[in-house]
Amino acid sequence: MRRTALRMVILVLLVAGVVTPRIGAGPRETLLRFPSWQQDEPGVSGWWKDQIATFERTHPGVRIEFTKIPLAEHTDKLIAQFAANQPPQIVHVPAQTFFPFADRGWLEPLDRLLDETEVKKTYHPLQAKECVWKGTTYCVLMLNYGYAWVYNEKLLKAAGKSVPRTVEEYIDTLKAMTDAKNGQYGMGIVTLPGFNMVAHIAVFVYGAGGRWTDDKGNPAVTTPQVIQGFKWWKEAVLGATPIGQESGRLRQLVMEGKVASYNDGPWMQGFALRANPDVKPHLRAAPIPFKFTMGGPSNIVAIPKAIPEEEKRLVWEFIKSGTMKDAQVRYSVAVGAPAPRQDITIPSEARKDLPFFDVYVDAAKRAVSWVPFGLETRSNEFIRIVAEHAQRMIVRNEPVERVVQDLQKELETLKRQ
């Protein structure tokens, strides 16, 4: 009788929600969202996934959701999420588009947290230059880099050419390796509007000695150097590349032997290692024969200011784990270039699997950042405007001199806004 009465009491309490059953119950999971264009990128994606697995193992009840967003869409989607007050917990963006997030007060200041690490003492100087906005540090640098020319030596020799030493030889070589009627191209250049298109334009513009803005931060795209860079870019695009392609597709064509060369950062080594068996042995890397090498800061990680304090603590622990010596050594091997931390050494056995490493070390030393000084907080709009005007040069074949005049006016308007 008593047991029956007790069961009835428990049943009433369960229905009322006063008592909850313990069967199947467990700790509430904390989800940290981490969208990134690197989610499936050879080399570096493996490093991120290892870091995530280790973090989840040491933080029971915490799960990091690592998802893919194409680079061309990444910054726009993140800005929309922040504007709606629904940012992902782990912020990963190209260094060139970091400043709008910092300027709008969307990111957590990190100086106090960084003082507890060795980042300020051991990281590349670009950490202090590129992650600081108005005197406050808002991010941690993931990579500094320089571009190099990755090419198929077999196709180069078949065209009767050797590694170019001048710009003129370079463009002539790209054309010589092109047979568009048979689907063979000398160079992969991104011409689909977005971040990578403007990055590839910057290789030529900055290579010619041009800069998007002057020393005072004013638009300066009508200088002889910028015009020359655009002319080189236009000639290479119209004479040697399949138009309308994004970076992923062009890298795949290099791996298949259908595109003979590609200007890229050190992450290209990961793609080269996955090339078709008949292509992989012939892939090489060399300096791009320009006066200047485009590069600088590549990408950063940060913490949203709007998320709960406990989530901020967890995100910081995750970011901090990537700054440790062992993690930075593994990162350098994964990306095939020096990590930001400068007090590490890459094991000699690991260097054997990174045939382009020395080329990229030299490229990083000579690299010039293409972040538009004076327009940092408008970088997303800047990229859109440059891409739209550049398309006129290749789609309508409009003269470079005419297009840059219109580009100058629109950038001046953007500067005044």
Please give the pLDDT value at position 26: 54
Task: Give residue-wise pLDDT tens across range 286-338.
Answer: 999 998 999 989 999 999 999 999 999 999 999 999 999 999 999 999 998 88
Residue 210 lies in a domain: yes
Side chain identity at residue 146, one-letter code: G
Please state, in angstroms and rounded to a whole number, the distance separating the CA atoms of residues 3 and 219.
Answer: 84
Both 176 and 37 in one domain: the answer is: no
What is the extent of the structural domain holding 37?
30-145+297-351
Both 234 and 194 in one domain: the answer is: yes
Both 303 and 344 in one domain: the answer is: yes
Which of these three, 336, 351, 366, is where a domain ends? 351
Both 42 and 128 in one domain: the answer is: yes
What residue ranges of the chain have pLDDT lower than 70?
1-27
Please give the pLDDT value at position 27: 63
Both 257 and 339 in one domain: the answer is: no
Please give the pLDDT value at position 25: 46
Residue 255 lies in a domain: yes
Both 177 and 78 in one domain: the answer is: no
- Residue 20, sorted as left (phi over 0), alpha (psi -120 to 50) or beta, turns out to be beta
Q: How many CA atoms lie within 13 A of 100 on its CB side?
A: 19
Please give the pLDDT value at position 2: 44
Alpha helices (runs of H) in 118-274, residue ranges in sequence order: 119-122, 126-130, 153-158, 167-176, 195-207, 224-240, 247-256, 268-273
Please give the pLDDT value at position 28: 81
Residue 239 lies in a domain: yes
Both 269 and 151 in one domain: the answer is: yes
Residue 166 sits in a domain whose CATH number is: 3.40.190.10
Instruction: Write down the pTM of the prediction.
Output: 0.86
Q: How far apart are the first and last CA of the chain?
A: 81
Task: Give residue-wise pLDDT tens across range 101-120.
Answer: 999 999 999 999 999 999 99
Please give the pLDDT value at position 1: 45
**Residue 213 phi, psi dihedral angles, 5° rounding:** -135, 165
Both 264 and 402 in one domain: the answer is: yes
Residue 203 lies in a domain: yes
CB atoms near residue 370 (< 10 Å): 21
Both 100 and 238 in one domain: the answer is: no
Both 211 and 342 in one domain: the answer is: no
Residue 229 lies in a domain: yes
What is the number of domains present in the chain?
2
Please give the pLDDT value at position 11: 42
Both 228 and 261 in one domain: the answer is: yes
Residue 403 lies in a domain: yes
Pairing state between β 293-302 and 140-146: antiparallel
Please give the pLDDT value at position 346: 87
Residue 281 lies in a domain: yes
Residue 360 lies in a domain: no
Both 207 and 239 in one domain: the answer is: yes
Measured CA distances, 291 to 196, 211, 285, 316 (Å): 21, 13, 18, 40
